[in-house]
Amino acid sequence: MKYGLYTSRGTCQCSTQLYSGPGSHGYVAQDAQFFADAGADYLKEDSCCGSQDHTTAFGDYAEMRDALNKTGRPIYFSLCGWNTWYAPEGDRLGNSWRIAGDGTNWGALSNCINQNSKLQQYALPGAWNDPDLLQGTGRGSNDKATNPSGCFDPSTMRQTADWYQSIQQAKAQFTMWAIMSAPLLISADPGQVELEVLEFWGNSEVIQVSQTFRKGGPYQGQRIVGGDLQYNIKTQMGSGTNIWGKLLPASPSSSSGPGFALAFVSNENQVTNVTCDSACFDAMFGAANLRPRALGVRDLWTQKPLATMTPPYNLTATLQPHGGVALYRFFPSTN
């Protein structure tokens, strides 16, 4: 476990109806030293009460970056600016940067996926696009409705009314965060969340997709089929399917060469077949400079191998509505 702390680059922290606190503006060096002395391993710096002018925002984050570095303590610096325009500057300012608004439910998280589909080129070792936290379903959160020890009361904090997602959507989020190489940060008490969700978050083969990288990149997966995903939590209606791919190094346990992973996701309102056809596979082969004679396939959620594939390549996943998902890893054979 790592120890994280929070501040904002403005004059106040991000407020609710019940709480607001001072930000670090004007006290950056003092606050940075406090974080280091407290033993922080991670610092999230929000943007509330700070200027949204790009130059000013970058300058504020650079000031905290320099102050943290001056302390001599290695602290993961997480920028929380809620916009894609941080991505081109992110790697010089911190270790990750939020690229969209709060991912409070599956509709908002779907938008985070949409925004991140444009930002693959900015992800680098030690510097990552951040589409927000792993939300789970609300069990173990700070909401009194789901956690007796929580302090968020929906009757007095109306913005919590539309938070959280289904178990299926929690699985979809983890799948997409893995293929996007996003920071995997749990926004819940692991001692209280559902066993099924804990099993999602503990799937070592899915985590391996997230945390292993082909030398030279690209380090984040890319959307190769589909457009933007939509989901309205109030009407519980959605639309859109995606297939994302990520290049991977050779598996230590495999004699085959470097491979790739494919994630399938659907927000349609009915059970939907989503197909990676020959053009979809060619997109991955071209990116990897591969012309395989066969493909070994492993379903990373069932953790079982599928039948070896041979040309012409075509794979269909049957997905449930509103967050149906599948994740496969492919091991090319050129022999």
Residue 102 known to be catalytic: yes
The one catalytic residue in 41, 91, 102, 153 is 102
User: What tokens does 248 get?
Assistant: 């991977």
The shares of helix, strand and coil residues in the chain, as percent rounded to the nearest 5, are 30, 25, 45
Calpha distance 173→170 (Å, rounded): 5
First-to-last C-alpha distance (Å) of the chain: 44
Calpha distance 128→219 (Å, rounded): 9
The one catalytic residue in 46, 130, 132, 143 is 46
Residue 41 known to be catalytic: no
76 CB contacts (<8 Å, ≥6 apart)? Answer: 2, 41, 42, 43, 95, 96
Residues listed for the chain: 335
Calpha distance 84→64 (Å, rounded): 20
The residue assigned the tokens 């149906």 is 324
User: What tokens does 328 get?
Assistant: 């496969």
Catalytic center residues: 46, 102
